[in-house]
Amino acid sequence: MTNGVCALGIDVGSTTVKIVGVDAEGNLAWHHLEQAEPRVEDQVERFLAITPPLTSPPQEGGKEGGLPLVATGYGRKLVRQAERSITEITCHARGVYRELGHGGTLVDIGGQDSKVIGISSKGDVVDFSMNDKCAAGTGRFLENTARRLGVPLERMGQVALAAAEEVSISSTCTVFAESEVISLIAHGVAVESILRGLHRSLIKRIVAMIRTVGLVPPLMLSGGVVQNQAIARMLEEETGEKVVIPQYPQLMGAYGAALIALAAKD
Ligand code: ADP
């Protein structure tokens, strides 16, 4: 798995930090992921210390003799070891295009932001919309409300999909949705019906963003929230489009950054 890592990409997100190593052909060869810590600089230092040793001779371009490194994500500017910092929009598009081999509309749902990115058939970003001002439409929305319902993050999607009924959640704001959830519980509404309604609310928010960019199939998904199975299923229901997901959706930003670092070497 660690054979021939020759460039690195690091994605310092608001919720998780991811690092990816690619081989000379640009294949994803190594990765590591942790929850984001307040002291980003120390965490990045630790990530770089565990990168696999070079299996081929070092090439020109690596800062301080190390592997070429590109940073992306919310905290990318804090990675002083990186040669360049590039936006998540560019990096997610790059990673997903390389892995799936086609353009379309990419939806990235992270811990505290969400994005819709239009990618051309050549892999260029043609348009995008980003929400990083409001927790609605992000992982945080589900995390906060699921905590209220006592359902573990990893099971939320499964529980929501198993619901026989769905409650309509009128508040899009996370804070108000939490109060609404408390009130629904007090009225004896089933946890799974509330959860399904919360997922619907998130998906509707995402669909509104998709509409501002315009949906050009195929619809693709990246980001940590995609590990929740209800997301793809309900997005398919709402849009009528089949959703395509890369093998490691949460790593696509870091993968794209590593591909950019690799291309800059040549
Ligand atoms: P960022 O890049 O913004 O830091 P990520 O793309 O890493 O965020 O996504 C993190 C979010 O993914 C978490 O906030 C959480 O809501 C969600 N998540 C992670 N793992 C799972 C899982 N197994 N099931 C459901 N949601 C998950």
Share of the chain above pLDDT 70, in %: 94
- Cα of 225 vs centre of ligand 1, distance in Å, is 4
Average pLDDT, stretch 146-171? Answer: 91
In tens, the pLDDT along 172-188 reads 777 788 889 889 999 99
Average pLDDT, the chain: 92
Question: Ligand 1, from 92, 138, 153, 252: best to mutate by most atoms within 8 Å of Cβ?
Answer: 153
> What is the model's pLDDT at position 54?
60
* Residue written as token pair 């590990």: 227
Is residue 2's pLDDT more than 70?
no
Residue nearest atom 11 in ligand 1 by C-alpha distance: 111
In a domain, 209, yes or no: no
Q: Is the pLDDT of residue 62 over 90?
A: no
10: left (phi over 0), alpha (psi -120 to 50) or beta: beta
Residue 58 lies in a domain: yes
- 139-149 vs 174-186: helix axis angle to the nearest 10? 20
**Residue 14 covered by a domain:** yes
Nearest to 242 by CA among 251, 231, 253, 233: 233
d(CA 28, CA 99): 9
Q: What is the CATH number of the domain that holds 64?
A: 3.30.420.40
User: In angstroms, rounded to a whole number, what is the distance separating the alpha carbons of residues 91 and 258?
Assistant: 9
The count of structural domains within the chain is 1
Is the per-residue pLDDT at 190 higher than 50?
A: yes
Around 53, how many Cα atoms within 13 Å sit in the side-chain half-sphere?
Answer: 1
C-alpha 121/C-alpha 19 separation (Å) is 27
- Would you state the pLDDT for residue 175? 79
Tens of pLDDT along 63-101?
445 899 999 999 999 999 999 999 999 999 999 999 999
Q: Residues 20, 254: contact at Cβ < 8 Å? A: yes
Cβ proximity of 223 and 250 under 8 Å: yes
Q: What is the pLDDT of residue 217?
A: 97
| Domain assignment present for 256 | yes
Contact 198, 145 (CB under 8 A): yes
CB count within 10 Å of CB 142 equals 27
C-alpha pair distances (Å), 219 with each of 109, 157, 222: 13, 20, 10
Per the domain annotation, does 236 fall within a domain?
A: no
What band does 46 get if pLDDT is binned at 50, 70 and 90? Answer: very high
Q: What is the mean pLDDT of residues 148-165?
A: 93
pLDDT at 65: 58
| 23 assigned to some structural domain | yes
The neighbouring-strand residues paired with 34 are 17
98 within some domain: no
Nearest CA to ligand 1 atom 12: 224
Domain with 86 in it: 7-91+251-265
pLDDT tens by residue, 198-254: 999 999 999 999 999 999 999 999 999 999 999 999 999 999 999 999 999 999 999
- Judge whether 222 lies within some domain: no
As to burial, measured by CB atoms within 10 angstroms (0-12 exposed, 13-18 middle, 19+ buried), residue 198 is buried
Label residue 3 by pLDDT band (50, 70, 90).
low
